[in-house]
Amino acid sequence: MKPEAITSLVARRAFLRKIGRAATCAGAIAGAGAFGVMQKAAAKSVPAPSRGSFPTPDYDWTQHRWGFGVDATKCIGCLRCVEACKRENNVPADAHHFNTWVERYVYLEGETKARIDSQSDPQNIAASGSEKQYRFDNRYQAAKVEKAFFVPKLCNQCEHPPCVQVCPTGATYRTQDGVVLIDSKYCIGCQYCVQACPYGARYFNVRTRVSQKCYWCYHRITKGLQPACVEACPVGARIFGDRNDPQSPISLFIRNNRVQVLRPETGNAPNVFYVGIDKEVG
Amino acid sequence: MEYIAELAPFTGYVYPNETVIPWTVLIVVYPYLTGLVAGAFTVSSLYQVFGMQRFKPVAHFALLTSLCLMLFVPVPLLLHLGHPERAFNAVITPHVTSAFAVFGYAAGFYVILLMLESWFVFRPHIVLQAQEEKGLPGWFYRVLSLGSYDLSEKAIRYDQKWIFALAVIGIPAAHGLHGYVGFVFGSLKSREWWSSDLMPAIFLFSAVISGTALLIVLYVLSCRLRKIPVDLECVKGLAYTLWGFFMFTLVLEGVEFASLVYRGREGTDVIMEYVAGPLLVPFFILQFGIGSLIPLALLTFMIWRGTTGRALIAGVTASAVLVLLAVLMMRWNVVIGGQEISKTGKGLLAYSPMIFGRESLLAAASVLVAPLAFLLVMVRLFPPWADAASYYASQPRDKR
Amino acid sequence: MPKHIVRLVILLVASGAIALIAKWFFTAESFYQYGHYRADSVPEIAAQKPVFQTPRYCQSCHSERHAQWSANNHKTVSCEVCHGAAQGHPQEGKLPIPADTRKLCTLCHEAMPERPRTQPQVALAQHSGGQQCVVCHNPHAPKLAGVVAKVAGDAAAGNRKHAASCASCHGAAGISPNDTWPNLAGQNAAYLVRILAAYKSGDQTDVMMSPMAKTLSDADIQNLAAYYAGLSCQAAPGEGRVGDAAAGKALAKNCAACHGETGIGSNPAWPKLASQKAGYLVNALKTFRAGLRRDPMMAGVTRGLSDADIAKLAAYYAAQSCEPVTQARKTQ
């Protein structure tokens, strides 16, 4: 053979050997990968159990449509709801994170704008003596009060929630029975939802490092109980029920009253209905 | 109880959950970085797409700068996330109604585009180094060359076509990438200070000027370090670009502010109180006065008088530094400023940043400096200078 | 096409494919089942254990208390609001009985202009002089038993009955001749009706009064009450141990909510104490304290009184004028 032919033959063989080695390595990796993928494919192709009654065997979310009412003419500002909620739902025990809260509106004689404060106001925290216990101080007891009232607030579980809209991962979502929940195992803690909520209902939990908010005590309502705040309220300022049932407290509340929602112009269509709020409540 | 650093004292009435400020200084740095990316890329495309030869000295440098900054863009976000290990959830199951989810894909696309364009632009150098260098650097360049040392005319022509195509696609990609940041704020219904249709445009145009300004500063600096004369035509071109986009940016910002005040919707009383009070220093003095009026006046004067030479370089560089400050303050005033006005429209909060910690001034400064340090390394690996030969040969002293 | 372009394209396509496969691989199992979220998180949330148990849970062991609570005004106040959440109770121990009721009860009942008028509210300082609420109020049946009895008697008939049955002990004009038996002149009619009816029915027992009351008809009781209420109560103030009256004044602040500052109260269901016989008052307080004279409220207020305290209080009230004080002038 010609020397050039031999050289090229040698080169070709060397090249083929190299290729062969590379191919074997690649093949091994590809094979392992493919095996893993096939396992996953097998798992995924098993049809999701026709879930039947979801989320629990005793509770079918397609049968319920939850609603919440607030009668601000009854609220006495005792804040038992706020403390009950904190106890029930692992809300951080300080004055900066609340699933639900109460606002106080006071119009003094001669003033056109309301003086507004909540239980987080430093003066009120001083009056209660602790960041874990709440009470409104009595700063207006000697003042000429023209009109004053309390307004409990909580997540409105909107029909078109802006928080769900902005969540990048799908960690927050609306259930079929009308509650907006947070999947705390999936949330990445970007806090976009906290920014998007016009009502200030959401916050970032520093300990769990995910977002959190009122969820109408979903773990209670799916067991036939009421949310903790509704249970705690001594004067019936909070009303809860199933709007699918025309005789439920909430259905009666909506039917028998002229109800309002907060910030209707945002287009969120909230599901917390207020009676007895005023022009400045937003 | 963990110390909540972002606890904000307030006046008036704010929602109880607002007393902790969610987005802090890291979220100020993030749009600033993406803005620099978009701006640097725009300058690069002035040469690559629009064929403006005067920008040749900075074109490839701009591209490399854009790439270096882009690689660091996810860092402030990851530092801010509650669960950065789950960050990929936004890519695995992107919720397409969310601007953040779209960012995951837009940024991924754009990073690949930048890497591709840079690869094509620096391919001659890579091939050269692959053939000449030994050891680890040699191996590095050989991998990058994908095993092909083809620098024939045909190959170069292909490369040029790819560069052009990538640069053309890159313009809307870069602007979309940064415009969406404006959309993140502008699309929200919850804050009057943010909610505006003009937000994406404002962010975009201020991005272009910040990128241009950064390039001016870095280019002049690099010329000093390399001891070569600054290309006056290039600097003049950059000054024109900066000046033109700057005026338009100011118009947009002015129009938006005027609309806010004129409409007088819920919260405007508080906005005016805020602007006249706590916002006085960051907005009127820093962003507007020092950061906008001075460079605008300076640039207008120099362009009108046809300044050239050392004076031009000094003046343009000074303007560029001030513009960089202005754009940083603009991001601050949008992100932090927007959160200092309560969603109730009846209260104001005060944010004071931490010096040390995860979301602190030190972290923000590091995130800003790191890409520049990385750039320093990258210009060694991929020299972007049009006068590349001079980089290797020993230099006569600068005779100027 | 040049080699490097081909290899680049292959690299890009391969990376893309790997990325897509990775995306599919890492997507959680239950995602997309009902929407853009992990469906498994719904049952996870629903499975959390409730902390508050509701009063129905308390009823199973505390049935008597529950019955009392649900028959009275606080039936809208859940047990756990005051006692804390019942999760883990009784396995993990008792639930607290609130100690500082002043702090607890004022959360709802402190008088604030922002509260609806329908809410019962008091200014604590004026209402109880700083005492704990449970001194007078049973939290499970908070409304005080100051039910005002109906008084519609005939004073003239009462006069005749009095002269026949009562004057020998209680005095011709309703002013008792000795320190032990109480003055009746000017006493609240409603109180007299209540107490006589109690003696008659056996709710209260007294060695003297029980057999006496049993001989009275309901009409007699009404008439007597009307008669005594109309009598003038002038007694000589200053009887008894004058020296203790000043100390008694301080203690009497705690009684003012029901009995008035000087022993003339606003609610006719409760007796006037002003210028009452000191000895009688001492005995009455002691028997209240011992539970021999039955009244849950009086039992509460007297529990903490020492004999010395009782003596001081008796001296103070005995020294008061029984005419209502119309000016701010106080008598000693």
Tell me whether strands A66-71 and A101-108 are parallel, antiparallel or unpaired.
unpaired
The Cα C248–Cα B200 span in angstroms is: 79
A197 touches chain B (CB under 8 A): yes
Question: Which residues make beta-bridge pairs with A204?
Answer: A211
Residue with tokens 């009108």: B304
Residue C92 pLDDT greater than 60, yes or no: yes
Cα–Cα nearest to A154, from B299, C210, B15, C253:
B15
- This complex has an ipTM of 0.90
The Cα B177–Cα A97 span in angstroms is: 34
Q: What is the pLDDT of residue A183?
A: 97
- Whether the CB-CB separation of A174 and A165 falls below 8 Å is answered with no
Percent of residues, chain C, with pLDDT higher than 70: 93
Cα–Cα nearest to C274, from C286, C288, C260:
C260
B304: pLDDT confidence band, cut at 50, 70 and 90? very high
- Whether the CB-CB separation of A157 and A178 falls below 8 Å is answered with yes
Question: Which residues make beta-bridge pairs with C30?
Answer: none
- Whether the CB-CB separation of B181 and B34 falls below 8 Å is answered with yes
Long-range contacts for A250-259 (Cβ within 8 Å, ≥24 apart)?
A250/A66, A250/A67, A250/A68, A250/A69, A251/A67, A253/A69, A253/A71, A254/A67, A254/A69, A259/A69
CB contact under 8 A, C45 and A148: no
C44 touches chain A (CB under 8 A): yes
Shortest distance, CA B331 to any CA of chain A (angstroms): 16
Residues 120-149 of B with CB under 8 A from C: 123, 145-148
The two three-digit tokens of residue B103, written as one number = 């960012």
Q: What is the pLDDT of residue B390?
A: 44
Q: Which residues, at least 6 apart from A281, have a Cβ–Cβ distance to it below 8 Å?
A: A72, A103, A105, A151, A262, A274
The Cα B115–Cα B126 span in angstroms is: 14
Q: Is A12 left (phi over 0), alpha (psi -120 to 50) or beta?
A: alpha
- Sorted by where each begins, the domain ranges of chain C are 151-332
Query: For each of chain A's 282 residues, which pLDDT tens digit applies?
Result: 676 766 677 767 766 676 666 666 666 666 666 666 666 655 555 444 456 899 999 999 999 999 999 999 999 999 999 999 999 999 999 999 999 999 999 999 999 999 999 999 999 999 999 999 999 999 999 999 999 999 999 999 999 999 999 999 999 999 999 999 999 999 999 999 999 999 999 999 999 999 999 999 999 999 999 999 999 999 999 999 999 999 999 999 999 999 999 999 999 999 999 999 999 998
CATH number, span C151-332: 1.10.760.10
Q: What amino acid occupies position B9?
A: P
- Reported as type and span, the H/E element at residue B346 is strand B346-349
- Whether the CB-CB separation of B335 and B186 falls below 8 Å is answered with no
The two three-digit tokens of residue C264, written as one number = 């003339």
CB contact under 8 A, C3 and B150: yes
| Cα-Cα end-to-end distance for chain A | 95
Segment C286-302 shows an average pLDDT of 86
Q: What is the pLDDT of residue C330?
A: 44
Q: What is the pLDDT of residue C63?
A: 93
B224 touches chain C (CB under 8 A): no
- Whether the CB-CB separation of C127 and C114 falls below 8 Å is answered with no
Helix (H, G, I), strand (E, B) or coil at A104: strand
The Cα A109–Cα A147 span in angstroms is: 8
C117 touches chain A (CB under 8 A): no
Q: What is the pLDDT of residue C327?
A: 41
Write out pLDDT tens, residues C228-278.
Answer: 988 888 765 545 554 477 888 888 888 887 888 888 887 788 899 998 999
The Cα B19–Cα A281 span in angstroms is: 19
Shortest distance, CA B79 to any CA of chain A (angstroms): 10
Cα–Cα nearest to C244, from C316, C307, C179, C330:
C316
Backbone φ and ψ for A233, nearest 5 degrees, come out as: -65, 120
What length is written for chain A?
Answer: 282
The Cα C16–Cα A139 span in angstroms is: 65
Q: What is the pTM of this model?
A: 0.83
Write out pLDDT tens, residues C188-199.
Answer: 988 999 899 999
Write out pLDDT tens, residues B137-189.
Answer: 889 999 999 988 988 999 999 999 999 999 999 999 999 998 899 999 999 99
Cα–Cα nearest to B22, from A166, A153, A193:
A193
- Whether the CB-CB separation of B57 and B382 falls below 8 Å is answered with no
Residue B81 pLDDT greater than 90, yes or no: yes
What are chain C's partners, defined as 3 or more CB pairs within 8 angstroms? A, B
C124 touches chain A (CB under 8 A): no
The Cα A155–Cα C55 span in angstroms is: 26
The Cα B258–Cα B272 span in angstroms is: 11
Question: B41-70 burial by CB neighbour count: b if 16+ within 10 A, else e?
Answer: bbbbbbbbbeebebbbbbbbbbbbbbbbbb
C29 touches chain B (CB under 8 A): no
Higher pLDDT, C328 or B160: B160
Residues 223-282 of A with CB under 8 A from B: 266-268, 282
Q: What is the pLDDT of chain B when averaged over all its residues?
A: 90
Residue C324 pLDDT greater than 80, yes or no: no
Long-range contacts for C256-259 (Cβ within 8 Å, ≥24 apart)?
C256/C129, C257/C127, C257/C128, C257/C129, C257/C136, C258/C136, C258/C144, C258/C146, C258/C297
CB contact under 8 A, C2 and B162: no
- Whether the CB-CB separation of C190 and C149 falls below 8 Å is answered with yes
- Reported as type and span, the H/E element at residue A242 is strand A238-242
Residues of chain A in contact with residue B108, where contact means CB-CB under 8 angstroms, are none
Q: Give Cα separations from B183 to A62, B91, B97, B179 (angstroms).
A: 36, 19, 12, 6
Tell me whether strands A115-118 and A101-108 are parallel, antiparallel or unpaired.
antiparallel
Residue B172, preceding peptide bond in cis (omega within 30° of 0): no
B322: pLDDT confidence band, cut at 50, 70 and 90? very high
Q: Give Cα separations from C330 to B24, B77, B91 (angstroms).
A: 66, 75, 83
CB contact under 8 A, B91 and C23: yes
The two three-digit tokens of residue A76, written as one number = 């006495």
Q: Give Cα separations from B109 to B31, B52, B73 (angstroms).
A: 18, 26, 14
Question: Which residues make beta-bridge pairs with A181?
Answer: A173
Helix (H, G, I), strand (E, B) or coil at A69: strand
Q: What is the pLDDT of residue C147?
A: 61
DSSP readout, B173-185? HHHHHHHHHHHHH
The Cα B255–Cα B203 span in angstroms is: 14
Question: Which residues make beta-bridge pairs with C122?
Answer: C110
Q: What is the pLDDT of residue A46?
A: 46
Nearest CA in chain B to A203: B17
CB contact under 8 A, B146 and C27: no
Question: B107-117 burial by CB neighbour count: b if 16+ within 10 A, else e?
Answer: beebbebbebb
- Whether the CB-CB separation of A187 and A208 falls below 8 Å is answered with no
Q: How many Cα atoms are found within 13 Å in the side-chain-facing hemisphere of B20?
A: 21
Tell me whether strands A59-60 and A55-56 are parallel, antiparallel or unpaired.
antiparallel
The Cα B121–Cα B127 span in angstroms is: 12
Residue B391 pLDDT greater than 60, yes or no: no
- Whether the CB-CB separation of C194 and C270 falls below 8 Å is answered with no
The Cα B226–Cα B218 span in angstroms is: 12
CB contact under 8 A, C1 and B123: no
Residue with tokens 């909610």: B195
Residue A270, preceding peptide bond in cis (omega within 30° of 0): no
Tell me whether strands A55-56 and A210-212 are parallel, antiparallel or unpaired.
unpaired
Q: What amino acid occupies position A99?
A: N
Write out pLDDT tens, residues C130-141.
Answer: 788 888 888 998
Nearest CA in chain C to B149: C4
Q: Which residues, at least 6 apart from C144, have a Cβ–Cβ distance to it below 8 Å?
A: C136, C137, C258, C297
The two three-digit tokens of residue C192, written as one number = 């007299």
CB contact under 8 A, B148 and C4: yes
Segment C300-309 shows an average pLDDT of 86
Write out pLDDT tens, residues C154-168.
Answer: 888 888 888 788 888
The Cα C143–Cα B128 span in angstroms is: 97
The two three-digit tokens of residue A204, written as one number = 């970032």
Shortest distance, CA C52 to any CA of chain B (angstroms): 24
